[in-house]
Amino acid sequence: MTLHEEIPLAATEILRLSGVHFVRESKKILTGIDLTVRAGEHWALIGPNGAGKSTLLSLCGAEQHPTAGSVHVLGHRLGRVEIRKLRESIGHVNPRHPVRSPLTVRQVVLTGATGTTELMNRWEPTSATLARADHLIELLGLDKLNGATWHTMSQGERGRTLIARALLPDPALLLLDEPSTGLDVAAREQFLETVDHLHQSKPELATILVTHHLEELPETTTHAMLITQGRTLSAGPVHDVLTSELIGTAFDHPIRIEYRDRRWHARADRRRAAGSWRS
């Protein structure tokens, strides 16, 4: 099946996982995962270490295939579509992105056209690609970095550069894998402002953000999925999912959740910890 032979799905459906299982070296990593993401939805994928978040994100990004069940990305079922072409329609932001050469902001962004970490030999971007790269650099507030190279950029500047890189092919789906890793408080807040601005300026873009920390959720988050021990604990509108009871269950510890000034906050619930949490 080619990329143009689409499987009929709901018009706004970007991603669908149905009954997904994933086994690695005889160990069950994911069990019975169902997830549907539509255009304009901004999902948070939350769970403790080892819950299976990274594996789930790799399936969403067409980087791995499920052991059982089905994964449809942009109307195409994994296993029945040319993966390389499909990945061109998925933006992926990984703060551990390995850049070895002293690339400028513009050069890093342009690698998004080829899906590589370095500029390809003898590859020349079109004028349209250059114009889009410059537009994204300005949109994400990177135009004042001038000749700064990757190794001289701050973690926050790198994060925004990687978002611009991921957006270069104009994807319908953007995956953010713990994008606040290594950021100080100021850089984290600037990064979250950038993500919120992105959501507002590209209303049809669907995003999935992986994090351990509720404080790292953008204000524009619309949905959440809690995953623990490879299974879905809860998924749906963010205010239905991010409750003290469900978060406490997911992390196996009494946690009090608050929502103030359009941001989420979590702290240990000492009263419940001293009481009947495990009774």
pLDDT of residue 2: 40
pLDDT of residue 273: 59
Going by pLDDT thresholds of 50, 70 and 90, the confidence category of residue 3 is very low
pTM, two decimals, is: 0.86
Going by pLDDT thresholds of 50, 70 and 90, the confidence category of residue 95 is confident
pLDDT of residue 180: 86
Instruction: Answer yes or no: are the C-beta atoms of 196 and 181 closer than 8 Å.
Output: no
Question: Under DSSP, is residue 26 helix (H, G, I), strand (E, B) or coil?
Answer: coil
Q: Which of 15-29, 44-58, 110-124 has the lowest mean pLDDT?
A: 110-124
Across the range 116-142, mean pLDDT stands at 90
Q: What's the whole-number average pLDDT of the chain?
A: 89
pLDDT of residue 6: 46
Going by pLDDT thresholds of 50, 70 and 90, the confidence category of residue 4 is very low
Strand spans (E) along the chain: 13-24, 27-38, 42-46, 68-73, 76-77, 90-93, 173-177, 206-211, 223-228, 231-237, 255-260, 263-268
Across the range 133-138, mean pLDDT stands at 93
Q: Which one-letter amino acid corresponds to residue 51?
A: A
Q: Which of 35-39, 238-242, 275-279 has the lowest mean pLDDT?
A: 275-279
For 187-232, write each residue's pLDDT tens digit.
889 889 989 999 999 999 999 999 988 999 999 999 999 999 999 9
